[in-house]
Structure 1
Amino acid sequence: MIKVKVHLRPIVSKINLPTVLKTTILPGDSTERLFIATQVGEIFHMGNGGIKTFLDIRPRIIKLGDSGGGYDERGLLGLAFHPEFYYNGLFYLHYSVAGTQGPGALSEPFHPDPCDSKTLHPRWTNRETQYDHIDTVEEWILQPNGQPLKRRTLLNLRRPFSNHNGFNSLNFSPETGKLVLTTGDGGSGYDPFNLSQDDMEICGKIIEMDVGKATSIHNPPVVTRFNELPASIQETLTVIAKGVRNMPGISFQRYYHQYIKYAGNVGQDLVESIFSFVHYKPIPVTQLIQASLMRLEPDQEGCINFGWRGWEGAFPTSMVRACSENPDLDEKTITYYNEVIQTSVRRIQPLTSYFHNDPRPDKFGGTALTGVQPYMGNGIPALTGSVVFTDLARKDGFQTPVQGVLAYTRARTDCKPNDFSVIETNYNFGSQSAYYVALGTNLDQTKLYLGVYGSIKVTDFNQGTVFEIAP
């Protein structure tokens, strides 16, 4: 693939950890503005050469960073503007709710042992009390006086662990006009309860929500499974995909009269993966529930399955036993053999993957996928029509201090896997660490925005910079 070099042009600095970068046009305005959501609960927009607060929900956000030494995967995770936002002022938020901290689903850290079946299939019991926190998805409206106001709650989700809640988790589909929610598998590691493959579990899915349907329920119950939702909410939901571990959202690239969908799955130990698909058949949640009640296998033809927890990208999920004397001989053992077999023909293959350790000179060792966005602009011709992705922190030892990495690939017309290439950048971060935490684009996908943070701790404040990726 062609080697690409880009410039990083700073737009704003000294902000908190950016989780979502999106653009829209405010009602009554004529300029497309960049909106920046931070993990701690602020939403800013850029315009007239400065930055202005759009909404501040920090009091609504769960207290972050207490139990993980400052690292946290909760907070303000999703922001999406309705396709008719200019006319109706509607937008949507996904965040972790203040005051909902629980003890967690397991009393001890989860460590599956392929040689001990008792460790492979624990159950999430006493869900009303054994959970980590509650996430909510809400509908807001920008009033004529310019003040945002919450209208209703669409979902209240009880989460078993603090991590894998999804991020950049709300996007509208240009095909269906529906709100798309990406949910992580619930957290810990190795998906302890196999929630991502369970059709009744809300965890580990990509879900379409028809926000145009009135449910008359403004504060739904807190749930973990689809069959616990009121019927009127069930009827607004369809499932696009399952087998999700943790995703930086879903993005859409227009290709003639259809759209290529891109979704990245954050890996466990081995590999980060970017998937692409065009055709799919969403399954109404009401059909899944009916099949479950009748103890039948639902018709899942056309439903996308990314394969987790049995598969990590294109590979059976494995546990790595280190050989200290010779790391080249590290032993890898299949963790969930039965799940590998059951999902072997149902899952889709990744478009591309990159490894946590890669000795090839033109590749890189990654940590965690943090963004996947198509680029349709002409400003960087070598990237036109490609999909760009970013990793939190390069692990191959070439960067001191830590720095993230940009790369790109392309969907192939024959739908086969493709290679990827690193995108070189010219920006000098000096002695400051630069974790690449978010990737965004504008409405017509002709610009790319990169969120960078000087720390992976949400409790380290004001270390964020948002860049435009420029020629």
Structure 2
Amino acid sequence: MIKVKVRLRPVVSKINLPTVLRSTILPSDSIEKLFIATQVGEIFYIDNGVIRTFLDIRPRIIKLGGSGGGYDERGLLGLAFHPQFYNNRLFYLHYSVAGTQGPGALSEHFSPDPCDPKTLNQKWINRETQYDHIDTVEEWILQSNGQPQKRRTLLNLRRPFMNHNGVNSLNFSPETGKLVLTTGDGGSGYDPFNVSQDNLEIAGKIIEIDVVKNTFIENPPVVTRFNELPVPIQETLTVIAKGVRNITGISFQRFYYQYIKNVGNVGQDLVESIFSFVHYKPIPVTQLVQASLRNTESDQEGFINFGWRGWEGAFPTSIIRGCSANPALDEKTIAYFDEAVNTSARRLPPLTNYYHKDQRPDKFGGTSLTGVQTYMGNGIPTLTGSVVFTDLARHDESRPPVRGVLAYTRVRTDGKLNDFSVIETDYNFGPQSAYYVSLGTNLDQTRLYLGVYGSMKVTDFNQGTVFEIVQ
């Protein structure tokens, strides 16, 4: 693939962790503005080079950084403006709710062990008490006085662990006009409860929410499964895909009279994966629930399955352990989940994979996929029509300062696995670490924005910078 070099032009600096980058036009305005949502609960926008506060919900956000040395995957995770925001002033938030901290779903760290089969079939029991936190999806309105106000709650989701809650998790589909929610598998590692393949589990799915329908339910119950939802809420939901580990949003790429959907699925131990699809057949949640009650399989033709936990990108998920009772024997057991077989024919192959360890001179070892966006502009001609993605930090850098990675790929017309290429950048971060934490674009996808953080501790404030990626 063609080598691409870009510059990073600073837009704003000294902000907290920039989780979501969005653009919209404010009512009574005519110029598109860049909005920046931070993990701790602030939403800013840039107005003629000046950073202004749009909304501050920090008191609503769960206390972050309490464990794991300050690293956290909760907080303000999603922001989406309604396609008719200029007229109806509606926008949507996804965040982890203050005061909902629980003990977690498991009392000890989970690691699947083929030498101990019971670890491969864990169950999430006592869900009402054994959970980590609660996430909420809300509809807000920008009032005529310029002050945002919450209108209603769409979903309340109980999450088993701190991680894999999704990020950049709310987007509107230009095809259906519905709000798209991308949920992770709930966390830990290896999806211990196999929720991503369970049709009734909300976790591990891509979900469409019809926000036009009013359920007249002011405070939805806190749930983990679709069948726990009241029927009026079920009727607003359809499921696009399952088999999700953790998704960094969804990007829609206009291609003649249809849209290519590009999503990134964060990997476990081996690879990070980007998937691409055009046609899909969403399944109404009411249909999934009815099929479960009848103990039958719902029609899944055209339903997208990314394959997790059976597959990590293009590879069956493998678990390697030494099981021999004789320590003198250098003997290893390689095991695979049943889902590797069950989903092998149904799963969607990835558009591209990149490895956590890769010694090839023109590649890189990645850590975690943090953003996927389509670029349709002409300012960087070699990237026009490409799928651009970011990785948190190079895996092969053994000492600080850490550096994130920009790269790109293209959708193949034959739908097969494609290569990718690193995008070289000229910015000198000096001795400061630079974790690439988010990727955003403007409304017509002609500009790209990169969120960078100097530390992955949410308690290290004012180390965030947002750049525009330019030629």
Fold shared by both chains (TM-score > 0.5):
yes
**Match for residue 433 of structure 2?**
433
Task: Please state whether the residue corresponding to 2:150 is helix, strand or coil.
Answer: strand
Where in structure 2 are the equivalents of 1:44-443 lying within 5 Å? Answer: 44-320=44-320, 333-336=334-337, 338-397=338-397, 400-443=400-443
Aligned-residue offset at 1:330: 12
Question: 1:333 & 1:468 partners in 2: Cα distance?
Answer: 45
Question: 2:409 & 2:33 partners in 1: Cα distance?
Answer: 28
Question: 2:333 & 2:151 partners in 1: Cα distance?
Answer: 50
Task: Please state whether the residue corresponding to 2:112 is helix, strand or coil.
Answer: coil
Quick check: 1:104–1:132 contact (8 Å CA) kept in 2? Answer: yes
Task: Please state whether the residue corresponding to 1:59 is helix, strand or coil.
Answer: helix
RMSD: 1.3
Task: Please state whether the residue corresponding to 1:248 is helix, strand or coil.
Answer: strand
Quick check: 1:112–1:335 contact (8 Å CA) kept in 2? Answer: no
Once the two structures are superposed, what CA deviation does each residue of 1:238-286 show, in whole Å capped at 9, x if it has no partner?
0000000001001100000000000100000000000000000000000
So what's the TM-score if we normalise by structure 2?
0.97
Question: 2:297 & 2:450 partners in 1: Cα distance?
Answer: 43
Once the two structures are superposed, what CA deviation does each residue of 1:193-246 show, in whole Å capped at 9, x if it has no partner?
000000000000000000000100121000000000010000000000000000
Question: 1:330 & 1:159 partners in 2: Cα distance?
Answer: 37
Once the two structures are superposed, what CA deviation does each residue of 1:130-181 show, in whole Å capped at 9, x if it has no partner?
0000000000000000000000000000000010000000000000000000
Aligned-residue offset at 1:335: 3.6
**Match for residue 447 of structure 2?**
447
Task: Please state whether the residue corresponding to 2:341 is helix, strand or coil.
Answer: helix
Task: Please state whether the residue corresponding to 1:297 is helix, strand or coil.
Answer: coil
1:210 aligned partner, one-letter code: D
* Greater displacement, 395-404 / 154-163: 395-404
Aligned-residue offset at 1:10: 0.1
Question: 1:434 & 1:14 partners in 2: Cα distance?
Answer: 13
Aligned-residue offset at 1:397: 2.6
Quick check: 1:318–1:332 contact (8 Å CA) kept in 2? Answer: no
Question: 1:250 & 1:49 partners in 2: Cα distance?
Answer: 28
Question: 1:288 & 1:193 partners in 2: Cα distance?
Answer: 19
Question: 1:410 & 1:149 partners in 2: Cα distance?
Answer: 41
Where in structure 2 are the equivalents of 1:452-471 lying within 5 Å? Answer: 452-471=452-471
Quick check: 1:316–1:334 contact (8 Å CA) kept in 2? Answer: no
2:226 aligned partner, one-letter code: F
Question: 1:416 & 1:398 partners in 2: Cα distance?
Answer: 34
Task: Please state whether the residue corresponding to 1:232 is helix, strand or coil.
Answer: helix
5+ residue gaps in structure 2? Answer: 323-329
Q: Which runs of 4+ in 1 moved over 4 A?
A: 329-332
C-alpha spacing 1:354/1:331, structure 2 compared with 1 (3 Å): farther
1:376 aligned partner, one-letter code: M
Once the two structures are superposed, what CA deviation does each residue of 1:356-408 show, in whole Å capped at 9, x if it has no partner?
00011100000000000000000000000000000000112388410000000
1:430 aligned partner, one-letter code: G
**Match for residue 325 of structure 1?**
none
Question: 1:292 & 1:2 partners in 2: Cα distance?
Answer: 49
Question: 2:389 & 2:374 partners in 1: Cα distance?
Answer: 9
Task: Please state whether the residue corresponding to 1:460 is helix, strand or coil.
Answer: coil
Question: 1:143 & 1:330 partners in 2: Cα distance?
Answer: 66
**Match for residue 326 of structure 1?**
none
**Percent of aligned pairs with the same residue?**
80
**Match for residue 8 of structure 2?**
8
Aligned-residue offset at 1:49: 1.7
Once the two structures are superposed, what CA deviation does each residue of 1:109-135 show, in whole Å capped at 9, x if it has no partner?
111102321110010000000000000
Quick check: 2:114–2:321 contact (8 Å CA) kept in 1? Answer: no
Once the two structures are superposed, what CA deviation does each residue of 1:26-60 show, in whole Å capped at 9, x if it has no partner?
01100100000000000000012200000000000
5+ residue gaps in structure 1? Answer: 323-328
Question: 2:127 & 2:3 partners in 1: Cα distance?
Answer: 50
Question: 2:352 & 2:35 partners in 1: Cα distance?
Answer: 29
1:244 aligned partner, one-letter code: V
Quick check: 1:37–1:79 contact (8 Å CA) kept in 2? Answer: yes
Aligned-residue offset at 1:334: 3.4
2:449 aligned partner, one-letter code: Y
Quick check: 1:269–1:319 contact (8 Å CA) kept in 2? Answer: no
C-alpha spacing 1:320/1:143, structure 2 compared with 1 (3 Å): same
